[in-house]
Each structure stands twice: as structure tokens, then as C-alpha cells.
Amino acid sequence: MPAQTTTNPAAPVPPQIGAAKTVFLANAGEETNNFSERGYADLYNGLTQWNHYQLTSNPASADLILELHYLSPAAGQNVVKGDSMGSIYTPRFRLVVLDRATNVIVWSVSEFVNMTARKKTFEQQCDDAVDLLLNDVKALSAGQLPTIAAASKATK
């Protein structure tokens, strides 16, 4: 008798994300700096150009609230030959998607700033992370999990 294979059905994306027509984008960056502001401007412009959601300046009139967080926590110490060379940081952008009607988080996704892209400035690396967040939002709005959507693009 052949072994049975079981597959887990894909977990659904919360329907509020696909059904939303209006969104409010909030800059909730805990780290107050120009990277938080730059990320907010980049995501705002990307959402505007995509033209899938109507951006609103009033959170009360939005279906979804998108909170953009810029985080750069210390991830340890950089040690060379036993000497501490300072902290290592893991900067990332985190997008929290809230259903405005219930104020419940329906999704959250983080994209790390790729610090290994040596031919790019840190600002360009931050821009790339925000572009990935925009792709995550596009996948979610189409009912796809962002990691699955990204993997399918990588194999094409």
C-alpha cells in the first residue's frame, strides 16, 4: 500500500485585507530618525502609485490602518580577537495591519534591512526593505501569504 501524503491547506489571509478600499498609513517608528521618515515616505508613495487602496488622512474613515515601525535593536556585540568593537544592530521595518472597525491586528510582517548589499548605501538598503513590505501588502491584498508569493516570484 503506498504511503499517503497529506498536505496542510494554506491558512487564509484575513478577508479584511482584500476587502479594504481605504487605508490610513501611520508612521509609528519607535526609532526617531530619518530612516523612519524616509520609509514612511517611500511606502506612502508606493501605495499611491499602486492605486489599489485609497489613502486617507483620517484614520476614522479608513478600512485598515497600516502602522509602519522602524526598529534597530542591538543584536549582540561585535567582538574581534576578544575586543568588543561595539554593538551589532538588526534594522528592520515592521508593518502592522489593523482592522480599523475592531482595532484588532489582522497581520504583521517585518522586512530586514539587508546590510550585506555592499554596493548600496544604507538608505538604498532601507528603500529595498520598504519595497519588500509593499510587495507583502500586494500579496496579502490578493489573498496570498507574502512568503509564498515571494517564493513563487523567485522561481520564475
Averaged pLDDT, 95-121: 89
Query: What kind and span of H or E run contains 80?
Result: strand 74-80
Domain extent, residue 82, equals 16-146
Query: What kind and span of H or E run contains 148?
Result: helix 146-154
Give the residue, 120 or 104, on which the prediction is more confident: 104
Give the residue, 90 or 125, on which the prediction is more confident: 125
pLDDT at residue 27, rounded to an integer: 93
Residue 70 lies in a domain: yes
Residue 80 lies in a domain: yes
Q: Quickly list DSSP for 46-101.
A: HHHHH-SSEE-S-GGG-SEEEEEEEE--EEEEEEETTEEEEEEE--EEEEEEEETT
pLDDT at residue 77, rounded to an integer: 47
Residue 151 lies in a domain: no
pLDDT at residue 3, rounded to an integer: 52
Mean pLDDT of the chain: 83
Query: pLDDT, tens digit, for every residue of 25-40?
Result: 999 876 667 888 999 9
Confidence category of residue 116, pLDDT binned at 50, 70, 90:
confident
Averaged pLDDT, 91-114: 93
Confidence category of residue 74, pLDDT binned at 50, 70, 90:
low
pLDDT greater than 90 at residue 112 = no
Residue 6 lies in a domain: no
Averaged pLDDT, 76-101: 71
pLDDT greater than 70 at residue 67 = yes
- CATH, residue 90: 3.30.160.150
Residue 5 lies in a domain: no
Contact status, residue 133 vs residue 97, Cβ threshold 8 Å: no
Residue 36 lies in a domain: yes
Averaged pLDDT, 128-149: 90
Residue 103 lies in a domain: yes
The tally of domains found in the chain comes to: 1
Residue 3 lies in a domain: no
